[in-house]
Chain A
Amino acid sequence: MCLAVPARIVELEGDNAVVDAMGNRFRAKTTLLPDAKLGSLVLVHAGFAISLVDEEEAKKTWQLIAEINEFMETDKKISG
């Protein structure tokens, strides 16, 4: 439940942002992260950006999430 996903801010108006994570776009608030700017990479948890994150760390996490998704899919195929 405490998992946060890295995403890039692609639109920003006040504290309302649209972020992009692995090609998925969704809304996020930057109220808790006043330093966030257009183009910043941030960790998003439950619709809120909670921390800045660097490119390398974001890539590692995206890769991990992709692996988990792939694993879940394979798992479904095996058990299904």
Chain B
Amino acid sequence: MLERIYKAQELMDSACQTLGRRINIMEVCGTHTVSIFRSGIRATLPKELKLLSGPGCPVCVTDQSYIDTVLELAEHDDCIIATYGDMIRVPGRSGSLETKQPGLNIKVVLSSEDALQLAKDNPEKIVVLIAVGFETTAPSTAVVVKEAAEQGIKNFCVFSGHKLVVPAMRALLMEINNNIDAFLCPGHVSVIIGSGAFKEIVDDFGKPCVVAGFEPMQIIEGLAEICRQLSRGEAELKSMYSAVVTEKGNETAKKILAEVFEPSDGYWRGLGKIDKSTLQLQDKYEQFDALKRFGITETPVEDTSGCRCGEVLCGLIEPPECNLFGKSCTPDTPVGPCMVSSEGTCAAWFKYGRKRQREQ
């Protein structure tokens, strides 16, 4: 084990020496963010090697207008809002699902199946699944939409906030002042889409992409592999997580995703509108589209709270550079979504980064 760590450190050091400048590696996965903090990897890296936490936490990249629309849906008396736990504390313009109105009909679910079951158990109500998440989660939404259609369940619908990782990576690289040298690619998203999905980033932008799992050793070796490529001026696609990630991914899940959803332009917090980056229901499933059902349109709004989650998500600033961080914005009183989710960059910095500062 130690030998592997030394070898990884050697590769990182040598890349820093060869390039003679700061190296920025972005991870695009909330679980990586947490694992990196928890295991203390950051402190062991060469000074010139920086890890940027990108848009890898589904809650954090959800645009404020989405939250506002969820709150609007929640005001319908005949509605039950079925949501994953992470979403209930995210603040919109007029409070969050948790604080707004205690009487609102909001149920926390662990699975899309639970939401469909709620619809079956409450035939007089319309159950709206607040469907957030990347490609790992989206197939489970697709399955229940198909099931609802097959079983003729009419009081169930979905407000899709599902997002696609690769278009967001492309958008980040298209920004002129981006400083990203390479990506540490998400493990469980790759289980679905396959490591091959990142090949376009390598081919079109010449940036190394390495898929890693969540064990600290795998993250360290993933970072070292990126450094090896950077110091040779190469860009390749590699997977350190071959135990569960294949090149093509889960074909069944991909097929059902394509059958139920289609990529559509959508808004991301901090990144704005990105072409073909969100998943909307195909026309043949439009009766399950919550927005169409309730005749609501999602209007993007400008966030005026002073929250800088957007810049954090693009790797442009670190959380302590935001004036609200640790002052008016804490995990107990989050202003922005990166502080709400336990996988959010700001929450991880608050929890682990500050402790490290105290120890120093």
Contact = CB atoms under 8 A, between A and B. Distances in A.
Contact of B244 (A1, A2, A43): A43
Given A2-B136, A51-B191, A71 B252 contact: no
Nearest to B243: A57
B188 A2 contact: yes
A30 to B, nearest CB: 10
B250 A45 contact: no
B341 interface: yes
A29 interface: yes
Contacts of A48: 111, 139-140, 143
Interface string A52-80: 11101100110010001001000100000
Tell me the interface secondary structure of chain A in the complex: mixed
Nearest to A65: B214
B256 to A, nearest CB: 7
Interface string B91-132: 000000000000000000011111000000000000000001
Interface in A1-28: 1-4, 27
A2 B137 contact: yes
A1 B84 contact: yes
Contact of A3 (B188, B192, B252): B188
Interface residues of B, number: 39
Contacts of B253: 32, 50
B343 interface: yes
A69 to B, nearest CB: 12
B31 interface: yes
B86 interface: yes
Interface string B254-269: 0010000000000000
Nearest to B341: A1
Contact of A29 (B30, B86, B143): B143
A47 B111 contact: yes
B156 to A, nearest CB: 16
A58 to B, nearest CB: 9
Contacts of A32: 139-140, 143, 250, 252-253, 256
The 4 A-B pairs at the shortest CB distance, nearest first, are namely A47-B111, A57-B243, A2-B136, A2-B188
Interface of B: 29-31, 38, 57-59, 84, 86, 110-114, 132-134, 136-137, 139-140, 143, 186-189, 191-192, 214-215, 243-244, 250, 252-253, 256, 341, 343, 351
9 contacts: A1-B84, A2-B136, A4-B191, A29-B113, A43-B244, A50-B188, A53-B243, A57-B244, A68-B38
